[in-house]
Amino acid sequence: MKMFLSKKAACNTHGQDSSYFLGWEEYEKNPYDKVHNPNGIIQMGLAENQLSFDILESWLANNPNAAGFKKDDGTSVFRELALFQDYHGLPAFKKALVEFMSEIRGNKVTFDQNKIVLTAGATSANETLMFCLANPGEAFLLPTPYYPGFDRDLKWRTGVEIVPIHCSSSNGFKVTQSALEQAYKDAEQQNLRVKGVLVTNPSNPLGTTMTRSELNLLVNFITEKGIHLISDEIYSGTVFNSPDFVSVMEVLKDRKSSCEVQNRVHIVYSLSKDLGLPGFRVGAIYSNDQMVVSAATKMSSFGLISSQTQYLLAAMLSDKKFTKSYIKENQKRLGQRYRKLVSGLEKAGISCLKSNAGLYGWVDMRRLLSSKTLEAEMEIWKKIVYEVKLNISPGSSCHCSEPGWFRVCFANMSEETLNIALERIKGFVESMAPQSQHQRTKTSYKKSLTKWVFRLSQSDGAREPEER
């Protein structure tokens, strides 16, 4: 008997056919294991932070009551937690979370726990904001390159459209006034009503923080257009080098922006990257608009954080000695690992965009392309996945308009595994050298031939200039 699905279930807007997800599928078929499958695919397409688990595990070992759902006096709170189902969340956890968010931002801004909505991860937070701020068929502008999962998170169930703000490597992929205006114009030409701009700061996949100038530009733009700004700041605690992270909330504070503007700026946060806890599914929306907070809180009932998770993390994040030490050490380790990635790639003749945050590098392999096309990028990507056995994310999956860029993650593996991955990349680049030399020779020959034909044509005075 044939089964029929709803249009929503059967539609193909999930983005599962993206090379970003296809790379994961190949990895899952043949995952690398040092002992059991040393020739398998190494996962470098997953932005997980596994560098500081030992610090978290040490805290758990030293605080058995929190992990055992007990109060400091040893009294069990298991029954209370098992029955708690208020979608507003545990007050102790919300208080600890907003204080942790402030600490990450150098306490330059503070957050009100009554303006935060708890969600099952940042995926849920971003989708909930789409439901709150836009109708099906309306649009949000996103700077490219952007996280491939946004095609799923923002569009699939909401019916909201994404219009790219095309950014260029010529200025480090920074957002410009002209790019913003062009994207807005593109949306209008598609008969799409623009409801807002969404940015990731620090950027995924670039690994860079937005400058104060860029943030002011964005606030000016959304003020002029009367639209929203969502700042996804889930990597805010991963900044390992200067310049320091600047939250859009800090910019609003310094500008002394009106309440009307502040109400149209919203923050998405999560503990998946900063604490390395994606499996705990802890996300949050922060908004000054009480109507957004109220609507998002109601919607959060479809994706709550378990009360047990909230209880444990409330205790952890309330330990100020721990959070201060963790943030400092985690950022130090991320910086060391990033420098190791960059150094290894440089030995292979590959460069990266200069980054100061995140769990990945934005790697420039343009010189390895046979041509400046998407097809050439995919050709390289397939070789890296199937032959070199590394799952990395091609720039096209992030909607980068310049072929040849790749996102390469470095924090979801041991240093030993990273060394193996870098050796594989080095071997791959060396194997490409004869091909690259052949391509350069071929190009040089074409240029010489073109010059020869041009000189020959100049000697023919009967030709019109347009025919040369």
Give 66's Cβ-side CA count (13 Å radius): 20
Give the H or E element holding residue 186: helix 177-189
Question: Which of 155, 273, 326, 364 is the catalytic position?
Answer: 273
Percent of the chain with pLDDT over 90: 76
Mean of per-residue pLDDT scores for the chain = 89
6-15 pLDDT, tens digit per residue, is 877 777 766 6
Residue 463, pLDDT above cutoff 60: no
151-188 pLDDT, tens digit per residue, is 989 999 999 999 999 999 999 999 999 999 999 999 99
Residue 54 annotated among the catalytic residues of the structure: no
Residue 234 annotated among the catalytic residues of the structure: yes
Q: Give pLDDT, residue 442.
A: 46
**CA–CA separation, 106 and 258 (whole Å):** 24
Is pLDDT larger for residue 454 or for residue 293?
Answer: 293
Q: Give pLDDT, residue 313.
A: 96
305-339 pLDDT, tens digit per residue, is 899 999 999 999 999 999 999 999 999 999 999 99
CB 366 within 8 A of CB 406: no
Give the pLDDT band (50/70/90) at residue 301: confident
Give the pLDDT band (50/70/90) at residue 456: very low
Q: Give pLDDT, residue 255.
A: 87
CB atoms within 10 A of CB 427: 12
Give the H or E element holding residue 295: helix 290-299
Q: Give pLDDT, residue 466.
A: 33
Question: Which of 155, 162, 222, 232 is the catalytic position?
Answer: 232
The tokens describing 89, both together, are 């969340």
Residue 439, pLDDT above cutoff 70: no
Give the pLDDT band (50/70/90) at residue 1: very low
339-397 pLDDT, tens digit per residue, is 999 999 999 999 999 999 999 999 999 999 999 999 999 999 999 999 999 999 999 99
Question: Which of 222, 234, 267, 384 is the catalytic position?
Answer: 234
Q: Give pLDDT, residue 457.
A: 38
Give 91's Cβ-side CA count (13 Å radius): 1
Give the pLDDT band (50/70/90) at residue 78: confident
Q: Three-class SS of residue 174?
A: coil
Q: Give pLDDT, residue 80.
A: 84
Is pLDDT larger for residue 361 or for residue 452?
Answer: 361
Give the pLDDT band (50/70/90) at residue 251: very high
Model pTM above 0.85: yes
Q: Give pLDDT, residue 446.
A: 41
Q: Among 61-65, 258-262, 456-460, name the most confident range.
A: 61-65
Residue 151 annotated among the catalytic residues of the structure: no
**CA–CA separation, 352 and 343 (whole Å):** 10
Peptide bond preceding 465: is omega within 30 degrees of 0, i.e. cis?
no
Q: Give pLDDT, residue 435.
A: 54
Residue 115, pLDDT above cutoff 60: yes
Q: Give pLDDT, residue 81.
A: 82
CB atoms within 10 A of CB 404: 22
Strands (E), 201-313: 228-232, 265-270, 283-287
Contacts of 110 by beta carbon, 8 Å cutoff, 6+ apart: 98, 102
The tokens describing 264, both together, are 């149209």
**CA–CA separation, 439 and 176 (whole Å):** 35
Residue 447, pLDDT above cutoff 70: no
Percent of the chain with pLDDT over 70: 91
391-422 pLDDT, tens digit per residue, is 999 999 999 999 999 999 999 999 999 999 99
Residue 147 annotated among the catalytic residues of the structure: yes
Q: Give pLDDT, residue 3.
A: 64
Question: Which of 20, 32, 147, 235 is the catalytic position?
Answer: 147
CB atoms within 10 A of CB 163: 20
